[in-house]
Amino acid sequence: MRILLIGQGGREHALAWKIAGSREVKKVLCAPGNAGMALEPKVSCVPLVADDISGLVELAQKERPDLVVVGPEQPLVAGLVDRLAEIGIPALGPVEKGAMLEGSKVFAKQLMQRNGIPSAEFEVFSKFDQAAAFIESHPGAWVIKADGLAAGKGVFPCTGREEALQALTKIMVERAYGQAGDQVVIESFLEGEEVSCIALTDGETILMLASSQDHKRAYDGDQGPNTGGMGAYSPAPVLDEEMQGRVVAEVFEPLVAGMASEGIGYRGFLYAGLMMTPDGPRVLEFNARMGDPECQPLLLRLRSDPLPAMLAAAKGNLAGVSLEWDARPAVCVVMASGGYPGSYQKGKLISGLDKAAKIPDVKVFHAGTTSSEGNIVTAGGRVLSVCALGADIGAAVERAYQAVEAIEFEGVHYRKDIAHRALSRLS
């Protein structure tokens, strides 16, 4: 089989590595891929960016892959899966209407409201003055969210009036996220512990993946601005078997059924970011694809060949499919460029990758990297996802950081407390 994989980040490197490991796969073509993906057996890259929808359709028409796997959200929201369906090529990912679950937080909140899915109370505003007046008249803690795609950076937990007004100004006045800030969602601040729940679905059957937990804030102690994710681990101890049952019954089943009732046959990965409150799970966000960096430790733990499940989800026959997981936990530490999630420099030489690769049960997934004159250099904000398995969560953390310390590039920044919540449960 031949697979076309869209994307260039750590998530896509993990997908390329795992898919290429299938005995059924002869070739994985990545568009555009990155320096690490190009080194994997059976993987090759083409310099075609993920938001070039017409170019990707032309590539698929030429290559005729058995399956297209869409990694990032932008091409999903832009309707790539719809375009591929028109030329008879199966793709793993929702159609444009389904991808609006991530493409518009207003759409997602209203869909949840219609289907009784537990989430925070919210208001929607399209004018700065009205949003600011609401904050002025409702003191307290709020979460301000840009409506559209903002690479995980358009969400601002605010403990008071000044923070909330600054967030509104950045989104709606300074237009830091462009059209994504045409509307904002202001929702009540939820207390609890966050967890990531990801499933594969064919629009009817729901196949849950192992649980995971990410770290969105830039600095240790969950401080600083939101990022696309600074690390993750799996499984998440906060989500026991009983609570996972509630998540499926209260979140995933009504969502998939609700979309189907509105004519949206959702096929692909479905991500729910949840807050585990004293009253049970509450949805913080939905994503229309695998999480990044959650994907990396999940695929490190996955013992099954993922391709049969991916094909089944894309073709609508997921019933009866199962996945097998390594009982050992996995930890992922993101190594980022200095300044991320703000401005940062590119082209910094990366050393120590070979040394890290020799550590047992370690896998380094590339995110923002490229090749230059025979060297691997930085090319993005999140540069590497350093992952490790361990006999327990403490051993996995120790091994991941051992690999991190073997790798160097100028200005490198990473959190030193990944999996601190899981570790605290052991003490």
Element (H, E) at 125: strand 122-125
Could you tell me what percentage of the chain is helix, strand and coil, using 3-state DSSP and rounding each to the nearest 5? 35, 30, 40
Which of the four pLDDT bands, split at 50, 70 and 90, describes residue 209?
A: very high
Q: What is the pLDDT of residue 152?
A: 74
CA 252 to chain CA centroid, Å, is 17
pLDDT at 427 over 70: no
pLDDT digits (tens, 9 = 90+) for 301-344: 999 999 999 999 999 999 999 999 999 999 999 999 999 999 99
Which of the four pLDDT bands, split at 50, 70 and 90, describes residue 347?
A: very high
How far apart, in whole angstroms, are the C-alpha atoms of residue 217 and residue 251? 25
Query: What domains lie within the chain, and their CATH numbers?
Result: 2-95 (3.40.50.20), 127-182 (3.30.1490.20), 191-315 (3.30.470.20), 330-424 (3.90.600.10)
Placement of tokens 């690769």 in the chain = 357
How far apart, in whole angstroms, are the C-alpha atoms of residue 73 and residue 50? 9
pLDDT digits (tens, 9 = 90+) for 148-183: 998 778 899 999 999 999 999 999 999 999 999 999
- Torsion, Cα 417 404 338 102, to 10 degrees, reads -70
How far apart, in whole angstroms, are the C-alpha atoms of residue 45 and residue 43? 7
Q: What is the pLDDT of residue 203?
A: 97
Q: Per-residue pLDDT averaged across 419-425, rounded?
A: 89
pLDDT digits (tens, 9 = 90+) for 365-414: 999 999 999 999 999 999 999 999 999 999 999 999 999 999 999 999 99
Provide the 10 A C-beta neighbour count for residue 373. Answer: 6
Element (H, E) at 354: helix 353-357
Q: What is the pLDDT of residue 332?
A: 98
Separation in Å, CA 317 to CA 23, 205, 309, 314, 322: 21, 8, 9, 8, 12
Q: What is the pLDDT of residue 226?
A: 86
Q: What is the pLDDT of residue 390?
A: 98
Which of the four pLDDT bands, split at 50, 70 and 90, describes residue 253?
A: very high
pLDDT digits (tens, 9 = 90+) for 90-107: 999 999 999 999 999 999
**Mean pLDDT for all residues in the chain:** 96
pLDDT digits (tens, 9 = 90+) for 284-297: 999 999 999 999 99
Decide: residue 96, CB within 10 A, 0-12 exposed, 13-18 middle, 19+ buried: middle
pLDDT digits (tens, 9 = 90+) for 73-89: 999 999 999 999 999 99
Record the pTM: 0.95
Placement of tokens 């896509």 in the chain = 12
Separation in Å, CA 426 to CA 14, 251, 307, 423: 29, 29, 35, 5
| Percentage of residues of the chain with pLDDT beyond 90 | 95
